Structures are given as structure tokens and as C-alpha cells.
Structure 1
Amino acid sequence: MTQGIEFLEVIYEQLHEAGIIRSKGEFSERLLGKSPSYLTSMRARKRVISGEVIMGLGDRLMAEIAELGSDPSHAQIRSELRRAVAWVNYHLADQTIPDGIVPWEQPTAKSPQAPKPMAWLRVLASILAIGSVGRISS
């Protein structure tokens, strides 16, 4: 069983592609608070990742964001880190869903965008706009 490993690897890939993390070893040490070989070792041994490790990742990501401050030159990095925090929160919340309830689709390295909660509003607005096209204005 590799529960949690895939999730950590998705976060690693996202941060690696953004240039924030250079290696799995750096990710393991800097953001998981573990030894440099933690991520690859846990994958090889097919171990389950504890919730504490995931929560620690969220805390360390938030600390990285705070450390960057509000300097505009770090806006892109802060954005990527916030996206990773959102996925951590989503993953932790998803773990609380009882068996039998179908959760949202898990993120992949190809699609690290969080679900868009306001999409329904845009659909409603387009429906209302279509309905008003045929009306005669007074």
C-alpha cells in the first residue's frame, strides 16, 4: 500500500517544476522534516504516509510563505506554495470522508489546479444571459 506517497509526489513535482525544490532529498528534508531519502524510501517500502507528515508539510509550506513576506518579486513562488497548501488541505479533508462516499478526483502532476468553487455562478450567469436575449426591452 502506498497511501499518501502519490500525493506527496504530486506536490513534489508541482514545486520542482516551479523551481522551488531541486530534488526529492531537499523536499524530504526541507518540507517534510525528514531524512533526504524519506520520500524514495517510503515509496520503495510501500509504506503509508501518516497524517502528521502531511500536516507538517502544510505547516512548513505556510512557514515558507511567511518567510517570503510580501515582496512582489516573490509573487509567483508564493502562488505556487499557496496552491500546494490548498492541495494539502484538500487531501487532509478528503481523508475524513466516510467509506462509500465518492470523493473529488485526486490531483495529478499534470493538473495541479484546485477545483473552482464559483464555476456554478458563471454557468448560472450564462443561463440568465441566454434567457434575456429573446426579451424585448421596454
Structure 2
Amino acid sequence: MTLRLIYNSLHAAGLVTSQRQFSREWLQKQPSYYSSSVSRSREPSLQVLFIIYDRIRRMALSSADDIEIPCQHRKQLRRLAVEIRNLIGQRLSPPGSSGC
């Protein structure tokens, strides 16, 4: 799971219009954070993953009355939230642990 995949998914759903907006509004970082991270092949920090996970999860679980998001995009957001949650879990698990 990369920031690029997350950005592309949100962009395809019409939830972000630019990389700068994604950095500021979704990642709570400076406008150039996304483009800089991608160009340097940096993985997102746990802090960034928690921030984006929380926002995507909330949108995916919100009722249709709260936010105008088509059903297909809600399903996509739920899948994306699960993938990010799994990535967070992998990062928090010590190397060599079996998860037990």
C-alpha cells in the first residue's frame, strides 16, 4: 500500500482534485508532502497512515445523509481502509513476530 495508490483511489472517487489538496486536507501535511514522498520513494509515517485511515474509515461508514458519496465509492473506501489498517498492523508488529 503506497500513498500513490491511496491518492489514486481518492482521486478516482472524486474526493481529491490535486496532490496539494491531498497533502493538506487528507494527510494534514505541507502541500508538497505527497509529491516529495513519491519522488523520494518514501513510505508514509505511521502518523500519516493513522490520519488517512481515520478519515477514510469515517467517510466509508458515514450514512448517505451525511456526505454525498456514491455506494460504489463507499465500498472502495471500506476496502481501502482495511488495506491501510492492515499496513498499520504490519508496521506495529515487531519483525519476526507471528502475531500471536
Would the aligned equivalents of 1:18 and 1:77 in 2 still touch at CA under 8 Å? yes
TM-score, length-normalised on structure 2? 0.72
Please give the alpha-carbon distance, in whole angstroms, between the structure 1 residues aligned to 2:69 and 2:15.
Answer: 14
Q: Which moved more, 1:84-93 or 1:26-35?
A: 26-35
Give, in whole Å, the separation in 1 of the partners of 2:43 and 2:74. Answer: 29
Assess if the C-alpha contact under 8 Å between 1:51 and 1:92 holds in 2.
yes
Question: Which residue of structure 2 aligns with residue 99 of structure 1?
Answer: 95
Give the counterpart letter for 2:12 in structure 1. E
- CA drift of 1:35 comes to 2.3
Using the aligned pairs only, state the percent identity: 32
Could you report, residue by residue, the CA deviation over 1:34-73 in whole angstroms, capped at 9, with x for unpaired residues?
222110122345545320110011111123335x523597
The answer as to 2:58 corresponding to 1:63 is: yes
User: Against the structure 1 CA distance between its residues 99 and 77, is the aligned structure 2 distance closer, same or farther, given a 3 Å change threshold?
Assistant: same
CA gap 1:73/1:95 in 2 versus in 1, 3 angstroms? closer
Q: What count of residue pairs does the alignment treat as equivalent?
A: 96
What is the letter of the counterpart of residue 85 of structure 2?
N
User: 1:42 maps to what in 2?
Assistant: 37
Q: Any stretches of 5+ residues in structure 1 without a counterpart? A: 1-5, 102-138
Higher Cα Rg, which structure: 1
For structure 2, which runs of at least 5 residues remain unmatched after alignment?
A: none
User: Where do residues 77-88 of structure 1 align in structure 2 (5 Å cutoff)?
Assistant: 77-88=73-84
